[in-house]
């Protein structure tokens, strides 16, 4: 009886402990074990062989949910845009969100090209070269292949860009159907929206469940990396973190600060009014969870009217993920460099397109960006398969994902508030007294 209680206590501790803390513990312990094993070369291969199942299981669980997460979350995100609001304000904020996301991933790639995270690391996996892309397609081919000839076939094959395109246009069509004048048609549309939303929420729950296994998966995969690579794996991770945060700062000052200046709104006044939401987002790592505070800051501190803020901010929490876009660009470059295959120009262009579109469906919850990274990697031919070098590099990113997630969530929320203030100013509804 006492034994059962003890076991129950161990499991209780595991599930009640903060997931971030458990992943970090898994990362640190895995790194320590890997370094120790590195001093005994004869033990490395037996360890890798015997622990392979637990690392591969984690990778398979993640791959299992990539396509359904893309499909449901993107359709739900696109369907949430009510046609009645797709007027002047809706078009303006959509252009703002998509353009800033494109700039974000471009900034991430620029600094990744300058700092070259992962260059010379030459990570190895049981599959060695496995996961490397075939000959890069032309830009015209990339753009044409975005439109699927058979969406079902794309879903079955896991072709990411066509899935994204289909999900977005289907979601927009669905938003019109649910608001149709025909009552029966509108009812059917609303029912389908409910089904899609339920599917998206189910996927988020599934992601949360899978992430409970993440500490174990990270522990095993990181231990394998450090056993095979040694302490030299620490430096590349520090460069990745530095590159992401440089990109986040430059995007905040250059893009948001620049746009606010264009519309004659003070950048420092903006930061003062938005800082509470920014700090909350940094700590909670959740755009959606920060939304009540974001709304209050936008209305009370920045002078945005409720009629605009109540539309742009919830929409931004769903589709505006500039910080995530920067993260995706940098991490894709790191993984390409780490496996000895720097991304070509066409691959980087694909990353820009995929990351920009993916931002529409990235859930505003902790860790969602790591799932989207899988999608981006798939789009450029870097398959995260069990035992591959790509999987090992991805595991390294996952180990520090929480640290990166704090910064990118903060920027996501910052971009939402900046966009809301700018749109309100263009509509002449911004309380300028708040900016004096």
3-class secondary-structure state, position 7: helix
Selection from 296, 286, 424 nearest residue 367 by Cα: 286
Q: What angle do CA 334, 336, 338 make, to 5 degrees?
A: 65
Tokens of 152: 């079902």
d(CA 409, CA 294): 12
Q: Is residue 273 part of a domain?
A: yes
Question: What's the whole-number mean pLDDT along residues 264-289?
Answer: 84
Residues 6+ apart with CB under 8 A from 275: none
Both structure tokens of 65: 């949910």
Q: Report yes or no on 416 lying in a domain.
A: yes
Domain count, the chain: 1
End-to-end Cα spacing for the chain:
68
> And the tokens for 233?
């794996």
Sign of CA dihedral 113, 116, 120, 125: negative
What number is the average pLDDT over the span 149-161?
83
Residue 333 buriedness (CB in 10 A; 0-12 / 13-18 / 19+): buried
Widest Cα–Cα separation across the chain: 73
Helices within 39-126 (DSSP H only): 41-79, 88-115
Average pLDDT on 385-396 reads 80
Q: What is the pLDDT of residue 311?
A: 76
Residue, of 139 and 346, whose pLDDT is higher: 346
Residue with tokens 């449901």: 72
- Give the C-alpha separation, 247 to 331, whole Å: 12
Annotate 155-217 with DSSP letters as a single string: HHHT-HHHHHHHHHHHHHHHHHHHT-SSHHHHHHHHHHHHHHHHHHHHHHHHHHHHHTSHHHH
Span 33-82, pLDDT tens digits: 888 887 887 888 888 888 888 878 877 887 787 778 778 877 876 777 66
Q: Give the CB-side neighbour count of residue 355, counting CA atoms within 13 A.
A: 35
What's the pLDDT band for 421 if we cut at 50, 70, 90? Answer: very high
For residue 412 the two structure tokens come to 């996501």
Provide the CATH number for the domain around residue 324: 1.10.3860.10
Q: For the chain, what is the radius of gyration of the CA atoms?
A: 22
Amino acid 232: pLDDT: 66
In a domain, 4, yes or no: no
**b/e per residue, 44-77, with b = 16+ CB within 10 A?**
beebbeebbeebbebbebbbebbbebbbbbbbbb
Residue 8 lies inside a defined structural domain of this protein: no
Report the pLDDT value the prediction gives residue 248, as an integer from 0 to 100. 95
DSSP string, 267-288: HHHHHHHHHHHHHHHHHH--HH
Which residue, 230, 415, 251, 213, is CA-closest to 330?
Answer: 251
293 in a domain, yes or no? yes
| For residue 9, pLDDT beyond 60 | no
How far is residue 276's CA from residue 293's CA, in Å, rounded to a whole number?
A: 8
Instruction: Decide if 266 is inside a domain.
Output: yes
Residue at 41 is within a domain: yes
- Residue 141 DSSP class: H
Question: Count of CB atoms within 10 A of residue 42's CB?
Answer: 7
Please give the structure tokens belonging to residue 148. 């699927």
**CB-count exposure of residue 303 (10 Å: 0-12, 13-18, 19+):** buried
| Cβ proximity of 243 and 77 under 8 Å | no
- For 311-335, what is each residue's pLDDT tens digit? 788 777 767 888 888 988 899 899 8
Q: With contact defined as beta carbons under 8 Å apart, do 74 and 360 qualify?
A: yes
Question: Which 8-state DSSP code applies to residue 301?
Answer: I
Distance between CA atoms of residues 30 and 316, nearest Å: 37
Query: Which residues have C-beta within 8 Å of that of residue 158, sequence separation ≥ 6?
Result: 66, 67, 378
Do residues 172 and 79 make contact, with C-beta atoms less than 8 angstroms apart? yes
- Taking the C-alpha atoms of residue 391 and residue 130, their distance in angstroms, rounded to an integer, is 10
Mean pLDDT of the chain: 80
Name the range with the highest mean pLDDT among 97-111, 208-222, 224-238, 270-284.
Answer: 97-111
What range does the domain containing 270 cover?
Answer: 19-435
Segment 153-160 long-range contacts (CB within 8 Å, at least 24 positions apart): 155/67, 155/71, 158/66, 158/67, 158/378, 160/70, 160/354, 160/375, 160/376, 160/378, 160/379
433: pLDDT strictly greater than 60:
yes
pLDDT-derived band at 130 (thresholds 50, 70, 90) equals: very low
Whether residue 2 lies inside any domain: the answer is no
């Amino acid at each position: 009886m006492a034994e059962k209680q003890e076991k129950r206590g161990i499991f209780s501790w595991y599930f009640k402990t903060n997931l971030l803390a458990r992943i970090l513990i898994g990362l640190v312990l895995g790194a320590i074990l890997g370094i120790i094993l590195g001093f005994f070369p004869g033990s490395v291969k037996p360890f890798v062989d015997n622990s392979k199942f637990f690392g591969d299981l984690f990778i398979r669980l993640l791959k299992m949910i990539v396509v359904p997460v893309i499909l449901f979350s993107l359709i739900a995100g696109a369907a949430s845009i009510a046609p009645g609001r797709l007027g002047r304000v809706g078009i303006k904020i959509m252009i703002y969100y998509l353009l800033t996301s494109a700039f974000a991933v471009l900034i991430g790639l620029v600094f990744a090209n300058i700092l070259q995270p992962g260059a010379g690391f030459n990570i190895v996996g049981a599959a060695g070269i496995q996961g490397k892309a075939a000959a890069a397609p032309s830009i015209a081919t990339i753009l044409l292949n975005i439109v699927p000839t058979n969406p079902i076939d794309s879903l079955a094959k896991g072709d990411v860009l066509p899935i994204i395109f289909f999900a977005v246009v289907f979601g927009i069509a669905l938003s019109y159907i649910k608001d149709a004048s025909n009552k029966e048609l509108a009812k059917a549309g609303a029912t389908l929206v409910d089904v899609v939303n339920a599917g998206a929420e189910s996927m988020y729950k599934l992601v949360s469940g899978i992430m409970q296994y993440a500490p174990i998966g990270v522990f095993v995969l990181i231990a394998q990396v450090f056993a095979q690579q040694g302490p030299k794996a620490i430096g590349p991770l520090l460069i990745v973190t530095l590159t992401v945060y440089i990109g986040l700062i430059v995007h905040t000052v250059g893009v948001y600060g620049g746009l606010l200046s264009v519309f004659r709104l003070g950048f420092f006044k903006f930061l003062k009014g938005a800082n509470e939401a920014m700090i909350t987002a940094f700590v909670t790592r959740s755009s959606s969870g920060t939304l009540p505070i974001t709304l209050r800051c936008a209305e009370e501190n920045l002078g945005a009217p409720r009629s605009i803020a109540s539309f742009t901010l919830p929409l931004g929490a769903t589709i505006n993920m500039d910080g995530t876009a920067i993260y995706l660009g940098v991490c894709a470059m790191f993984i390409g460099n780490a496996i000895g295959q720097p991304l070509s120009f066409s691959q980087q262009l694909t990353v820009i397109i995929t990351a920009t579109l993916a931002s529409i469906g990235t859930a505003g919850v902790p860790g969602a960006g790591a799932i989207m990274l899988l999608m981006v990697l798939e789009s450029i031919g870097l398959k995260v398969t069990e035992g591959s070098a790509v999987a090992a590099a991805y595991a390294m990113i996952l180990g520090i994902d929480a640290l990166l997630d704090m910064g990118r969530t903060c920027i996501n929320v910052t971009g939402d508030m900046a966009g809301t203030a700018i749109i309100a100013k263009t509509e002449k509804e911004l309380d300028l007294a708040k900016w004096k």
